[in-house]
Structure 1
Amino acid sequence: MREFVNIPLVHILTLVAFSGTEKLPKAPVITTPLETVDALVEEVATFMCAVESYPQPEISWTRNKILIKLFDTRYSIRENGQLLTILSVEDSDDGIYCCIANNGVGGAAESCGALQVKMKPKITRPPINVKIIEGLKAVLPCTTMGNPKPSVSWIKGDSALRENSRTAVLESGSLRIHNVQKEDAGHYRCVAKNSLGTAYSKLVKLEVEALNMTNATEREESEPEQDTKVFARILRAPESHNVTFGSFVALRCTATGIPVPTITWIENGIAVSSGSIQESVKDRVIDSRLQLFITKPGLYTCIATNKHGEKFSTAKAAATISIAGRMAVHNCTVSGEEKGTAEDE
């Protein structure tokens, strides 16, 4: 005969209640995978990574496989790590973002999504007033940035400018006019357009001087023989500054060469997306001035480029902007080099 064990009813009820409330360990499962997020510059972007597990997991975030640190003030991580917010998107924030959840039970769970930074068109190097002798070549610059990449067109007076055998819009957005004629004189502006908006440059004036005996010599000097080349060279490098937060700073860079170089400004390895650039050209010297509103330290590089046949040369000069009270290394380096193919302007 089977023996029965007398177990008090209160103990049985306690065991049943305990077994009903205790959770079994569960490895993390991401129930809401990350998706591709589109965001405009200076707007907020958010990634949601919903996780089920027991015990509660530790969640970390990476961008392009680099850990996002909790104390990075550009990000906000909330909801026990499940919500990542980029507080003010910059054009350099695009990339692959991943959340990794781990609670020591089973393997870690991971989900990744892309941030695609969209940018309305911005004209970073507007055209400038040009005065030129009839018969020479004129180039009006118009450098733009945006995502999707903006298309560039030009307006002369009140009408859209049509390209012809003498007039062309280059890949860079610049307007090139060969063998300038008197009828080319007038007011011009460039227009940058993408699916997010349109940007217009200010009006600039192209003045054409009639060819005469006085400036004929100048024209000959302005058109060196085909095999003549002078590589781009920095004449005046930008200077480093240590300023207070919120200050305005002007960086100046001058360069020369044959043909006259173009100047591009780079901030921490990326084309300058803020500030204003003013340029002038005289006696084969280009003078570029970058106006900045300082909210963070940075390394600014002036790059002068010109072209010779199928090659082009570059010269670089860099300066550091630091904010008072923060440690910084002030330096200024100047270099020059010859490189491969480039656009014929």
Structure 2
Amino acid sequence: MIVFREIALRVIRSLRACALCQQFSFFKINVSGDEQTESGVRLTVEPTDAVAAAGERLLLACAAVAPARVSWRHSASAPPTRDHTLSNSDSYRKQLSNGSLVIESMSATLAGQYQCVATLDGVGTIVSRIATVFLAELPEIVETVRAVSGALGAAALLPCALRASPRLAMRVTPASRTAPPERRVYGAAGKTHIQPPVLKLNVTWLKNGSPVRMETARVSLTPSGALELDPLRTHDAALYRCVVALANTPTQHVTGPEIDLRVNTDLANVESAPRFIVVPQPVTVIEGASVTFDCAAVGNPKPEMIWLNNGVAIDLK
């Protein structure tokens, strides 16, 4: 398993895609053509993408240099325009004195694209980057394997492949108090990224329908939600399923397909060539996000694993 932090991608900045540039805060530009950006109007804080579960309170930050007035726009899908300006009497959202917007109780109708607007009479108007607010939803569990076979005393990794919006970062809460150590590779030092919103998830595992007890030394949860057993014992043979829930609303959950774990006692002391039982899968993330790649191999003696990035070995020390 490997975790990449702060992925640095080269992004071609082009005025030909003005709406996209504005959405990701590369430039403050006018996409509607009806407002002008003036040097006398300046935003000091702009909103960022966020995710919240139903019923949660959410704050979108925004501030402008006085005496500019701040207002907000919201559109469910398309970039908001002046026709989407929020009313001061809105029952579900309240603008604070500092310009920030509070969503009192998150719901599907309040998700979408938000934009902060600063106006100074006689000078002009400036708009912020577009911040997308997501309603936290359970990710899809993708079926990868139906059976995993391992030798007694070897390691086994049971995947729980999760798929959510690539604009969200997923953070899995380990069931055990002590998470297993992570091997991390960091991106370009000194480069600042807008962090994507984090979808917090709880992942547990069932063994023949009963919760799996996590043992830090032998049975643990990886950052991707996979179940790692090392070394395998005979009583580990069973049917396993992962259960994924939103961290703040554990009553909402989804259960993955069954994985049949088989423990082969005949091969415990027999030499065998290395073979992969789990390989990394392609994944799409936005710049600044973290990504976890699961990989596991078995063999006797236990295989030594290294990671390559574009054919070059990664130093994980």
TM-score range, shorter chain: 0.3 to 0.5
TM-score, normalised to structure 2, is 0.45
TM-score, normalised to structure 1, is 0.41
